[in-house]
Structure 1
């Protein structure tokens, strides 16, 4: 595994070889989507996949060059193999809501299922899909495997919904750009102008911070106009329930500010009208909150005074796989990180294998651990606290957009991870 090597060795010897090993897209795929819908279900210690449906969709937004994920991010991943040769054709890491739920107290006493969607280019030949979870020791283990015949007449090929789309910013071909579909949650039909204005406002705020300010030309943004019956969203803790397009709600895992949706069926059906790498759900409420899941979904409310800040923070999770760096806020999780294993997220460390992280960015005169004092306020160091824990996990700076709403933007370590994600999508 990559984590057994030093970071410099990885860059010099391994990364070029992996990059050269990327496949020729047209040899194995056509420029459409094979979408696999399934339930991810289990308890705190078990995971099971239940296949629901397969769909052929018209708009693949991903890179035609970078098909095999080399960065090993995410708590889950899916991989596609050629059935006859066993050659790896495609892979992608992600973080599902299910994985967070597994660390809650409820998961210790009850089994639950969460709707999931896997997206990859449509294969030309029979292939094998494998879904894997990252175990407590940091290694991936297989949860599910199935054979997929692209000629199977049970693969649905339905007409995509006829939703109107506002093209917020188009900068080039989908396979050469980061394609983001923004969906409206809790906007009625007569509120679509507000939705487009909110979407434009959020996108502008993102491009006011580094490194996004240098990469506006690397993104395509679409706003898909999907009306809801009622305005707003569910707030279960206040007994407020709304009939909305994507069934979002606050109080996820009993945390009032945690705003999510588990209706991935409706979300992906709506997003299918355009090519996409990432989906962002804007929720029409003035209550503070949001949520972000790597290569899965980002969500934020739009009318709180901190909505733009939360939008940027959650995109850090969803797009670049950045971890939360705070350690004092209430969360529903217990035993979220194994302190004997280096976390996969690029902006936290247990120091188990710090060479894989930002070791080279820490100055010789900066102590490790680095005290959280004013002397080190503006330096990259090794500050204890992060990933919801006060002890045993370290973050790069005293404060960052991934820690609080105070800083103007991301720290140098988070910026580096974001740059890496942008480059990966745009090759």
Structure 2
């Protein structure tokens, strides 16, 4: 079955078209008309997140050879909970793993899924999610610019650090990653793991990249899934910036200082600490926009989702699952 994967990737490409066009924080430098730019999220080991502007990466469509390699890739079920048309399908692809390192790729993929699946609200639906591993075989082991800038390797997805000059920004060819992910029976989310122990990752409209061999990088994927699955906005901000637009569509940011957008949650204790209210700053802007809590996973990697984020993720994951009671493998009455 390819239908759900195709629909997901089509939506991701439409999202990508608007990603670079999103309003930028006031005062951000532009590379100029001759050098198109795009935004990426950069992650520090201390959990802080920043949005950085980098030269737009040249991402040609996969070649015929790439397409043939993707079509020939083995798809391994890390967890198969049922038919894709009634389950949430997460797809993990790898880069920088040679044919003899597929066992290591499986270990890294399993480790990332284990971390994701113990985080709320993924833990609630763990038994109702399919997790597919696409065995992406690279010609050389490792990723570009690891351990230092200037190291180049021949890999299937062109993954590498120092993306746009940012050391821990781990970029790849999104179209190539999508081509491999589309081989899975269904695609509702994509995580790309790189063969490296160096901390890093990046967020794309359709996927997240993480260092496969780094035990702390899984939080990057969980944050990015907040965007690609839950439709959540970032809750951090750039100092001395003012939000220029109207009411945003994301559920966790608002221009209303009373927080009426999440009125039913106001005053309730939230897992990331404190109570739900209206805190100024979010969606990369310091002023003129408000977030539900002081800190959450959409602001800092060392925090859980707040109540608003949990509700959005719960709805998004649960909407893909039918025929079972959440958190169980038992059939529900029809």
Q: TM-score higher than 0.5 here?
A: yes
Q: Select which of 343, 355, 360 maps to 2:264.
A: 360
How many angstroms does 1:159 deviate by?
10
Q: Deviations over 1:289-320 (max 9, x none)?
A: 222234x1221112234112222112222222
Distance in 2 (alpha carbons) for counterparts of 1:243 and 1:93: 26
1:240/1:105 CA distance change after superposition, 3 Å: farther
Aligned to 2:208, the other structure's residue is in SS state: strand
Determine helix, strand or coil for the equivalent of 1:108.
coil
Q: Deviations over 1:17-42 (max 9, x none)?
A: xxxxxxxxxxxxxxxxxxxxxxxxxx
Report how far residue 62 of structure 1 moved. 6.2
Q: Helix, strand or coil: the match of 1:358?
A: helix
| Map of 2:281 onto structure 1 | 385
Pairing 1:413–2:308 present: yes
Deviations 1:267-302 (A, max 9, x none): 2332232222222111111222222234x1221112
Partner in structure 1 of residue 2 of structure 2: 59
Poorly superposed stretches of 4+, deviation over 6 Å: 157-160
More strand by share: 1
Contact 2:5 2:184 in 1 (8 A): no
Q: TM-score, normalised by structure 2?
A: 0.73
SS at match of 1:378: coil
Q: Judge which range, 96-105 or 379-388, deviates more.
A: 96-105
Q: Distance in 1 between matches of 2:283 and 2:69?
A: 42
Post-superposition Cα deviations, 1:195-221, rounded to whole Å, max 9, x if no partner, equal 111111111111211111111133111
Contact 1:205 1:308 in 2 (8 A): yes
CA distance in 2, matches of 1:256, 1:98: 26
- Alignment match, 1:272: 182
2: CA distance between counterparts of 1:225 and 1:385? 41
1:405 Cα offset (Å): 2.4
Between stretches 248-257 and 100-109, larger displacement belongs to 100-109
> Is contact 1:211–1:415 with CA below 8 Å preserved after alignment?
yes
Instruction: Please give the per-residue CA displacement for 1:67-90, whole angstroms capped at 9, x wherever unaligned.
Output: 9x9xxxxxxx97xxxxxxxxxxxx
2:295 is the alignment partner of 1:402: no
Partner of 2:109: 199
Contact 1:181-1:271 at 8 Å conserved across structures: yes
CA distance in 1, matches of 2:183, 2:12: 22
Counterpart contact for 1:182–1:221, Cα < 8 Å: yes
Give the secondary structure class of the aligned counterpart of 2:73: coil
Q: Which ranges in structure 2 are unaligned for 5 or more consecutive residues?
A: 39-66, 323-334
**2:121 aligned to which of 204, 207, 211:** 211
Tell me if the contact between 1:247 and 1:263 (Cα under 8 Å) persists in the aligned partners: no
Counterpart of 1:213 in 2: which secondary structure?
helix
Match of 1:301 among 188, 193, 211: 211
1:179 paired to 2:179: no
The 3 A distance-change label for structure 1 pair 97 and 354 is: same
Asked if 1 retains the 8 angstrom alpha-carbon contact of 2:252 and 2:292, the reply is yes
Aligned to 2:150: 239
Give 1:418 shift.
0.3
Query: Is the Cα–Cα contact under 8 Å of residues 342 and 352 in structure 1 kept in the other structure?
Result: no
Q: Which has the higher contact order (CA 8 A, sep 6+)?
A: 2
Residues 101 and 107, structure 1, Cα contact 8 Å, conserved in 2: no
Matched residue of 2:308: which SS? Answer: helix
Q: Secondary structure at the match of 2:137?
A: coil
* Equivalent position of 2:32 in the other structure: 108
Question: In structure 2, do the counterparts of structure 1 residues 159 and 241 end up closer, same or farther at CA, with 3 Å as the change threshold?
Answer: closer
Number of residue pairs matched by the alignment: 286
Shift of the 226–160 alpha-carbon distance from structure 1 to 2, 3 Å rule, reads closer
Are residues 92 and 194 of structure 1, via their aligned partners in 2, closer, same or farther at CA, if it must alter by over 3 Å? closer
Distance 1:222 1:290 in 2: 20
Q: How does 1:44-193 map to 2 (within 5 A)?
A: 59-61=2-4, 95-96=15-16, 99-100=19-20, 103=24, 105-106=29-30, 108-110=32-34, 112=36, 161-193=71-103
State the TM-score, normalizing by the size of structure 1: 0.59
User: Superposition RMSD on alpha carbons, in Å?
Assistant: 3.5
Structure 1 residues without counterparts, runs of 5 or longer: 1-57, 70-76, 79-90, 115-156, 367-375
